[in-house]
Each structure stands twice: as structure tokens, then as C-alpha cells.
Chains A and B, each alone.
Chain A
């Protein structure tokens, strides 16, 4: 859903490859005038608001374009036309689409996300209930992802072509190729059903996952699998590029220790693209990972979204669009700030 929003940061990531001579990270960062940064920030925030608004409008239009509406979905297999008309009137779906959208926007300006068509409960409670499990999964995944991804990437890049590199590279490529659903089924079958070490699902624990940490192990593993691969490969590629670059050779010629060159000069440049990949990963994690939620019965935002679309519960879908849009904008802004800090020359591309 938010693919369009994050797209703009890709250019930044690619531009980093062009960084050649970076004498000192800190000196360079300080050289960016504060006023320039502020105006850049203001532009980005404005752009983010516009992007979120565009997403919401697009989502509304697309939901309207889907066949059927909430009344048809509620009527299900008993589609008595008179009853559908009655439900439609009761839900106010007989009003023009533009009017309904305007009403909703007006409510939003007052901080009111509206009420669900399907249950009559406030959309805010849907989002609040779904956000807890989603945030928990995302936080755990990221906490493990960063050290694992960077560590593997650095390990592989230390000596390109070494056994460690070949092992890490082929393993990450192989794992990356496995779809999450298949990996999830595999892990459940092995660790939960065969070995009995871990619970197969989080069924029934939806509201209180932290009290049963064992149920989180397999979902987090599945969530980690692909991002660890992509980030470690990005870090590896960035490291190798950086280690071959003239500025690193120059630094080595100055007699700096290998470790210092590697971790203080090469790594930051390698991390910049990884930071943006990380932002996209976090965005993906926070916008609800439907496959993992369904497989492990974790009632997060992805589940809320699936149900809301099936029920044509437009207010809930729109509420989610706002939340997802804001998340994407904030994360990308954060990632760009971090990238500027790590490899400031790239800032001009943003």
C-alpha cells in the first residue's frame, strides 16, 4: 500500500555509491548549515502530508471501485435486494461517495477516525487493538535484525571471496528465496509439531503476547528471515565498495589501523543504504505482515486490514491508510536523516 510513498528514498540510496572521498564523517556533517536542514525537513514533512493525503484519497477511490459495498458484504449469502437496500440506508451508504468522503475528512480534522460500518465500534479502537501486537513483533524483529544483518554483512565483507563470505552469501540468497509462508510452515512443522519445543501458534494469546514469549519466537524468526538477508547483502556490498575506494586506500596509507579504517570510515558509508532498507523493512513490519499474522494467529494490523477490505468497511480501511501513510513518511524521513548523517553528500539528492 505504501510502496509509492517509500519510492522516493531509493534514489538517495543509490546515490551513495558515488561517494568517493570522505575525509571525516563528523566534519562533513557539521558543514551542512542548520537553516538548510530545516528547510529540507519542512519540505519533506509537507511532501509527506501530501503523500498521505494522496494515499487516503486513492484508497477511498479504489475501495469504491471494488464490486459490492459493506451492505453487500454484510448480506453475504442471503443477498435479498430489499435487505441490502435497508442496510445501505441504515449505514448511510446511499449518500454520494464524495459526500461520505468529505464527512470523513471533516471528522479526521477533529481527530475522529469515524466508526466501523461492520460493528459500529470506533475505528480508533480497531487501530489501537491491532497496533499492539504489530508493534511488538516489529520491535523485536528490528532489535534482532540490526545486529544480525550488519554483523553478517561485515563478516562477509571482511575478505570478499573467502569461505565465510561464500557461506554467508549463499545462505542469505537461499533463505531470501523462500517465501515467508513456506518458511513459516516449515518452522512450525519442525520446531512446534515434530520437536515440540515451541508453541505452533499464538491462538488465544492475542491480547497478551508478552506474557507468553515462547509464542513469539517462530513469528519473529520468519519475519527476520528475508530482511536479514537483504540488509546483510547491502552492508556487504557497501563495505566491499567502500574498502576498495580511494579514500580508504588513502586512509590506509596514512597508517590508520585496519579496524579503524573498516569500522569508522568504510562501515558508515556501507550503512547508509542499509538504513534506508531498514526503514522500508520497519515500514513493512508496522503496516501489518498479513502472512505471518494469519499463520501464527496474531491479530495485528494486517489482520484488521484483511477483514476490513473483505467487509468493505471503508472507514476502517481509510483509518489504516492514514496510519500506514504517516508511518511510511516518518520512517523515511528518519532514514534520510540518518543517511545524511552517515554519508552527508547524499543529502543533495533528497
Chain B
């Protein structure tokens, strides 16, 4: 990896996240995975360093870095533990950034500093049991109640759902003030979607269950139920889908960085193993098949990193980055899923055991092809930009 294209600050922030990851996260990652433990204390420590609000302006309690610095930190934290990486990524790019972009001055003053300083955690509640990739099919309702709303519904797969203090919740705006959406595929006319802020604890907000997952066991993924739960609107009425999709545009760059971090961790362990493991009279790293695998692995990780950095720089510059972010996530998540598997292959039988972290990287990597937009959705985003109207024709 060439660090020369980074600024001094970016290099130092990367070095800080790397050192913290190696010293304070990686030694515990296997234990957290086994025990399914959400390491709350790590986020307090990250908050003290400024890593829970890296790219949030200083006046809102953040560290005021650029977006690429944040992306570099996510990669390094994910290299130590993918669960910590996704928790920080969702907290920052799916909660703090939309709050920063759409919050009114009072909401910013009240809610952003505790998040940016790591005193509180954030969650993003869009997906529902019957609305995943088809997010616009969501059914959670928000009915007016005084100055705010009361929210009722169920949200699925909410990262940090069991621990978050501030949640961004997307729901049908039953205020009546906003224009009603055109009829959906089922012919029903539905109220438009708005974004809402919900605080924990609040009346009627419950954790229905914490999901049992294949990996990322140090992160929380919860099903939440809302029953007449008080909330306040974030952004304009009916702007929910725009806010959600805009958030995911940037968020998927963070997930691409997470995928790169997990893949890099797998490369590191496979490389070290190839140097030390002896077979047929010497280290296995002298065998062509192992060399080729590692060379391709490193090259593809570098390519994924380059796409990720490019998308991050475009976002920082305020340029369009929807397609570039989708490409970065599509490619990086595939690289992570594929090469974490090949890392196991290099470690052979040991790779399949929990004595080595390769199997954890493999389990952690898979979800990067699913959340914040599946790979299928990323391809759809890319194809639509490529083909324009032709990609949208229904018949």
C-alpha cells in the first residue's frame, strides 16, 4: 500500500487507528466473537480519541477530519475486529452524517455532540421484516402527536439496535400534510416516508430480540418494536427515502472500507503463516501455488482499497459518488468474501479451526455483501447509471 498519496494528518489518523486496533481491539476479538459480547468500553475509548465522530465538524463535538480519514480509520478498526468496524461505521455515516445534513440547529446541538464524543451510540432503523432491499415497502407508521409523532411498527436487523441512544427511524408520515405517494405496485396509495429521531429510553421502544448471526458477533443486530413511541421528524416531511438513500450512498463507502480491513487482516494472517509453516522441507511460502494466491489476494485488496479511497475523495469533494460508492462496495465485499475463504485454504486444517482468526474473518466478511445495500442492489445502481431509461423499462 502506498501511503504517499495521503496527507500527514491522514497518515497519522490511520496510524492511530491501527495502533489502537492492534493494542486494544485485536487481542480481544476472538473472545468477543465466542462470547457474543458487545464491547461498550471500546466505543468510550474511541470516543475519547475522537474516532466516534472523526469527520464531524469540531463545533458539533467531532474531530473535523475529512471523509477519507474516517474511511482509513474504519479500515484499520475492521482489520482488528469487523464488529467494531461496522458499529463505528453505522454510528458515523448512517446516524451522525444524516443528522448533520438534515437536523435543525436544536437537534444538532442536542443530539450530535454526545454521539460525536462517543458518550452515546447511534442506530439507523430502515429495514423491516418485509422491507429489505425494497425499502419503500416499509409499513411503520408515524401519527402526529403534539409537536412530534408517535411511531408504531417493527424494524429488523438494526445495527447497535440494543444499545443505541439515538435512532433514526423511517416511517410512513400520517400527518396528511405531505403529498400522498403515487399508488405502489399493489395499487394501494400510501403515505409518504419521513425520517424520525427516537431517543432511548422511550415509551414503547423494545428490543424484540438480538439476532443470532453467522459472524460479526461483537456487533449488535436487533429487531426493535415501536408502539406509540415518541419521535421527532428529521428533515422535510416526505423526504425519508431521499435521506435514506443519500445516507446509504455514503454509508456504503464505509462498508467497503470495512470489507478491505477484514480482507487485509486475512492477508496478514495468511502471509505470516506462509512464512512460518513448513512442509516438504521448507516454508510453504516458497510453493508457487501459495505465492500466486497471496499475490493475487494482495493485488485485489489494493484494487478494492483504491476504489474505496476514490469514492471517499469524491464524497469529500461534494462530487457525485453514488456509482463510485456502489462499485467500491460491490468489489470490496466480493474481494473480502472470496479471499477470506482462500486465507483459510492457505492455513489448511488450522484455518478451519478457531485457533486461528481466518475462519472469523470469513464469517465476518460475508455480510458486507448484504448490508447497506446487497451486491445485487449495487449492480442495479451501477447498471441504471450505465443504461439510463433502458434499465428501468418494465415490459
**A and B assemble together:** no
**B interface, CB within 8 angstroms of A:** none
